[in-house]
Chains A and B, each alone.
Chain A
Amino acid sequence: MLTLLLALNLLLDEGNSPFPMTAVPQADPQPAPVADEPHPIGTVQREEFYILQSEAPLLVVASPPGLVEITHEQGPLMARGRFAGGDGKTETRMLLGNHLYFIDAVKSGTVELIVIPVGATEAEQIQRQLVEVQAGPRPPPQPDTDTDTDTEPEPDGIPVDDTGGFRVLLLLDETADPDTLTAVDSLQTVKWLDDNTDDWRRWDRSTAETDGELDKEEPVWRRIWQAARPALPEGPQLLIIQGQTITVRPLTSQVVQELEVSR
């Protein structure tokens, strides 16, 4: 449906929000009312481009995982299709950022997009945006109504008996790619975990899933495992345990950045 073409190397101003914004009239001589200020678009729909643009590389994380797929492309690019915030018609746009992050709807629900500049050292550099994901076909226009949609909100975390602190569980299996293993093995990760958590573990998943293997582990870890295990997706996972909530994310080579966001 969509065609991407390599195009001119134009630049965006640094410091702009990477999120796609609503359009505003360019030549309106009257002061715009507050409601017309450009603001990030809050809906990701299937068959529609939702693109984050940036001059510098970013880490873009979706929480909870699984509702959207994020693909990084080098820009600038020319793209033809329907765009989030557009008028619903097919159009051609030049995407000027050097780094383009395409957000594709996978499953309906609400997701938070967390954007971290690579190398960020300050929490203020992190941007967040809640977006509604509509993974079904583009809905026809609806008359105004107060009825709620049938979409169940995705749970934001797995409840667990109070663990009394901030803990991290790195769960690896044989499908972990070497880049992830290198990141997990790095002293940067180890030092971060040592310095910022009350405790952490790195487990081999098949061992943890073997009956009786955790019998002699500390009770708090057994509780965490008992609560999280039924809800764990396949593959290496990052479990972030804060008090009474376990958040599960895919374990990737960006593990420290993920943890920074979650702290």
Chain B
Amino acid sequence: MTSSRVSRYEHILDDETATPVDGWVGLDLSERLPDGEGYAYGQFAGRFWEDLYIPETEWQGMIEEREQKQGQLSDRIRHKQLAPLNQGNTNYCWANAPVHCLELVRMKQNQPLVRLSPASVAAPIKHFANRGGWGRDAIRWLAERGAVPVGSWPANSREQKYYNDSNRELAKNYMVREWVECQPRNLSQMVSLLLRGVPLAAGYNWWGHEVTLTDAIWLDGEVAIRFRNSWGNWGDYGFGIVRGSKMLADDLVGPYSGSMT
């Protein structure tokens, strides 16, 4: 195997490229207080456990096999024509990535494809202000209350009228129970989960942004990561590539399963 196939429209972000500036971001890790091992989600996510590791020596072969069998998450996303999220002019990237992870888990579970509103998660947490946040804020909300479908709460609306009893009840159908957290900047944990088909919400300090990681790929003799942005049709159908030191996330969490509705 030489390299994974990368579309010419996919933006490649590496140590040489400038930080993309053509969209809103919103990651704020100032409240992330890691323990001695770097974990920070407490009771809201399980810690990455040893059994999940896939040895680095197997990465290239597994990537090749997943690509040959079209088993990457990006393959399924394209097959199901699940359009990328667009956070518009909100600072809610930190909710867009976890909500997209939930959508992807539901897609994997073959549940009806229901588009979910990131603002229905982020706006109540931030008292309907357009403020940044971080992953734990969102996954705590998703685990305890869920997300509202966009048909009942527009994706980027911060209007308080949507936070009503009806929507609160509706959101209980779209929750994530089980999350797994990785240590910051831990490539082995990140790649192991992606090779197991787990989407990841990844916060990058260098970008001030949180995106959804979908695939481990092989590029120029090294592992790299395919991610999905929340800037609409940025890149190729929302997909871009990050590699080198830039791919090491400062905050990383993924859903193991969503609610079964």
Contacts and interface: CB of A to CB of B under 8 A. Distances in A.
B168 interface: no
Contacts of A191: 79
Contacts of A216: 172-173, 259-261
B110 A185 contact: no
A202 B104 CA distance: 13
Contacts of A207: 177-178, 256-257, 260
Contact of B178 (A199, A204, A221): A204
A227 interface: no
Contact of B76 (A174, A175, A190, A201): A190
B69 A202 contact: no
Contact of B195 (A178, A199, A221): A178
A193 B49 CA distance: 31
Contact of A188 (B70, B73, B109, B177): B70
19 contacts: A178-B195, A179-B65, A181-B197, A182-B65, A182-B69, A182-B71, A183-B69, A184-B197, A186-B69, A187-B69, A187-B71, A187-B79, A193-B110, A202-B110, A206-B257, A210-B177, A213-B259, A216-B260, A221-B260
List 10 tightest A-B contacts by C-beta distance, closest first. A204-B257, A186-B69, A187-B70, A185-B71, A216-B261, A186-B71, A207-B257, A217-B260, A185-B197, A182-B71
Interface of B: 49, 51-52, 54, 58, 62, 65-66, 69-73, 75-76, 79, 108-111, 172-173, 177-178, 195-197, 256-257, 259-261
Given A174-B51, A185-B108, 18 more contacts: A175-B51, A178-B195, A179-B65, A182-B65, A182-B71, A184-B197, A185-B72, A187-B69, A187-B70, A188-B70, A190-B76, A202-B110, A203-B109, A206-B178, A207-B178, A216-B259, A216-B260, A217-B261
